[in-house]
């Protein structure tokens, strides 16, 4: 009886210890995703961008994505002259309604190597975003801004 009591006591302690360890384990962070409000195909907000959008809508081929920016939950792709660069989100932080700050892994020409980039996006109004990004050039940090319009 004493051995059975000890076995039962050890089993109870083991179960409660495992339960406590499981409850105390840190939560796994959610996978970073670009906000749904900016998903879609975008072009620079100028006459050339509007013309490229009209051409894409007439004939949706990869060739027509020249100078387009395509944003999905897990990827931000910039097409230029038939080549692409892409970013994947590492962290996404909402700054204010319609404004986000991203830390991304930026890949040039689908290489496995990447640099860490920081991008801020503001939804100016439905279908128009303003993108500000930081990059390194000759050892200096520089900032650039562009306005994009959704292609529909």
Helix (H, G, I), strand (E, B) or coil at 82: coil
The pTM score is 0.74
pLDDT of residue 10: 30
pLDDT tens digits in sequence order for the chain, 152 residues long:
333 233 233 333 333 333 333 344 444 456 899 999 999 999 999 999 999 999 999 887 766 788 899 999 999 999 887 678 889 999 999 999 999 999 998 887 666 677 788 899 999 999 999 999 887 777 888 899 999 999 98
Helix (H, G, I), strand (E, B) or coil at 107: strand
pLDDT of residue 8: 30
Q: Where are the alpha helices (DSSP H) in the chain?
A: 2-24, 47-58
């Amino acid at each position: 009886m004493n051995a059975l009591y000890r076995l039962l006591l050890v089993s109870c302690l083991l179960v409660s210890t495992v339960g406590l360890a499981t409850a105390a384990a840190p939560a796994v962070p959610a996978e970073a995703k670009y906000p749904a409000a900016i998903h879609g195909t975008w072009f620079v907000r100028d006459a050339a961008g509007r013309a490229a959008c009209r051409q894409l809508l007439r004939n949706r081929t990869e060739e027509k994505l020249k100078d387009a920016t395509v944003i999905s939950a897990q990827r931000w792709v910039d097409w230029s002259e038939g080549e692409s660069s892409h970013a994947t989100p590492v962290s996404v932080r909402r700054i204010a309604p319609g404004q986000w700050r991203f830390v991304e892994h930026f890949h040039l020409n689908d290489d496995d190597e990447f640099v860490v980039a920081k991008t801020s996006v503001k939804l100016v109004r439905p279908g128009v975003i303003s993108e500000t990004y930081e990059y390194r050039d000759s050892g200096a940090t520089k900032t650039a801004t562009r306005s994009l319009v959704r292609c529909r």
